[in-house]
Amino acid sequence: MRIDIRKNEAYAQGHIPGALSFPFIHNPEKWREQLLDFSHPDWADFKAAFAAFFRAHPSNTAHIYCHTGTWRSHAFAALAQAMGIPVEILPGGYRAFQEERDALFHRAYPIVVLAGETGSGKTALLEELCRRGEQVIDLEKLAEHKGSAFGRLEHARPQLLNEQFKNDLAETLRRVDSTRVIWVEDEGKSLGRAGIPQPFWQQMQRAPVIKLEVPLARRIENILAQYGHIDQELIITAIHNITQRLGEATPTAIAALRDRQMEATVRLVLRYYDQAYALQMQGRDVIATLHVKDGDLERVSSALRKMCLDKVSRIQK
């Protein structure tokens, strides 16, 4: 078990994945003279709270960290040991973790990027590949954002902060097998307020790409299945957010939506997204294109795996 003893605000901003929060001493001037006197009455409530916390989260050894692993961690460790609770200090604290995390983004990974225009069903295919034993990093799931103006419509809670997104991504990278292909969906630099770390994003830009070609009618069907149940006013707000890029088509798209002409609305919005995606794909290393005519995930994922095995192995040779 890992325990983050920094302030609640620091924990919310970003913490080591899986760590629990138990803030400790954030008025050093008040406590410095009493740090080693754990019999002082002022410690009674804190000791009782930590004892209850440890009972609720039993562990053979608790690994604690503050920002740098210095006096706050040592004071907490001394207090815990005085209570008979075994703890160990993570050397260097959260700052050391950040350094190790950032180093992971600079490593080389055998990435294959799955690309395709909006509505191509890339996320569903990645999920199917994962179920079939492939290594997949779902950046949108980690970021809790779909990577577009409509990317937060399915999430009720606020998006996690960029610092925590980087922490969770690093933890995912730490667990991958670098001898096997890692599938990722093609993304821009940002997923809402979560930015893909620059070294990793640059590696995605250089990686081989397999592009899905899906008929427009099928893409519209996919989008309606995903967003058709969402409150109309939320969709209108999202459309307003891209007014600058959608241009004169904005009022037409909103009018069609209010008239419940969902297909017409999607067609208008896709004009903008398709143009933007064409620019995003310029200069990319597209090693293969898979034409998808239906939603048979099992068949399409099998074709993707075969295509990847054939094309990527040729590149490596």
Point out the residues that are catalytic.
66
Beta 62-65 vs 2-4: how paired, if at all?
A: parallel
- The answer to whether residues 85 and 50 touch, using CB atoms and an 8 Å cutoff, is yes
Calpha distance 134→177 (Å, rounded): 11
Calpha distance 235→202 (Å, rounded): 32
Mapping DSSP to helix (H, G, I), strand (E, B) and coil, where does residue 208 land?
Answer: strand
Helices (H) and strands (E) in the chain, counts: 15, 11
Output phi, psi for 74, to 5 deg. -65, -40
Q: Of 84, 44, 91, whose CA–CA distance to 68 is shortest? A: 91
DSSP letters, 132-165, are TT-EEE-HHHHHTS-SSTTTTTT--SPPPPHHHH
